Structure 1
Amino acid sequence: MTNNWQGYTNKMLFHSRLLLDAWEEEADDLAKPAFREACLNAMVQAYRSLLAEIMTNYRLPVNQLPSLDEAINSVHLKGEVSTELQFIERLEQHDSWLSALLKSHQDCSMPIQRKSVDKNEIPLFNADSVRFDQPEGFHSVLESLKELVTYSRNFSLEW
């Protein structure tokens, strides 16, 4: 897999789409939370696989899905600066679709706790908000994730 992160990213984007479609169209009420969490997991795996793609563009060995910090540190240790990773870092640190995705994924990765309805509201694209408890909220995030993958791949083709 270390040489085919692009294929794995594409696979996870495809899985995200299938899970989102199943959540919207096919799932009964009991299965919807499972499809939601599976979709979140696949989207985060696609994101982290994109980080692995970027690392391999810098000829760094990647044996597992890295975090953003791991990717940045590896590139810096090589004495390089990655514009793609800097862009992604800004997305993670600000009110963006990516920070909302990671927060929602983190929330579902924790033991169940009582949450107020307000905690389901996750700010995206600065002023707008989307609900991550409904499939509609995932559509824009999935499209943004695909755009980020395309941006990063186009950027790496330039050099």
Structure 2
Amino acid sequence: MKKLLLIVFIIMGSYATTNAQSFGIKAGLNFANFSGNDANDFNVLTSFHAGMVAEIGLLQSLTIQPELLYSVQGAEADDNNYKLNYITVPVMAKIYLTDSFNLHGGPQASILISESESFDSFNSNTYDFGFAGGAEFFFADSFSVQARYISGVSEISDDFDLKNSVLQLSLCYMF
């Protein structure tokens, strides 16, 4: 099921980029940690994300924004950084409350491309799924800032009750 969802999101993203009304790039900081019953000894890992976005208008104040991002997630514990490097595909529905401010939310599918050596013993899963929500403010014609929270719903390992939990702060430039 997770593989099917990932394939659907990638196809949606590919379709969206061919019909997009605007494209952009974004990058920013991740404040990542783990949630779940086994997450007591972990602390926030500060990392980054970067990638491409497209925005497709549906109605006057409703758009869809698929993204393709490289995102470093994980946590810190006992002077170790547990880094999980993902290619993420969030698909955000954006509701514009004004011309320069929107609220957005939607699903995010991720595929693990690498992990830190300190994470090898966790036997991490290849796929991750979560839901995201946030806000965006355009402060210039093409520039915006975004704040988004991503809550993982799939466990990052079959051996532990750990899920990704990420706060993202981003700067976006739309062409």
TM-score (norm 2): 0.29
Which is richer in strand?
A: 2
Which is richer in helix?
A: 1
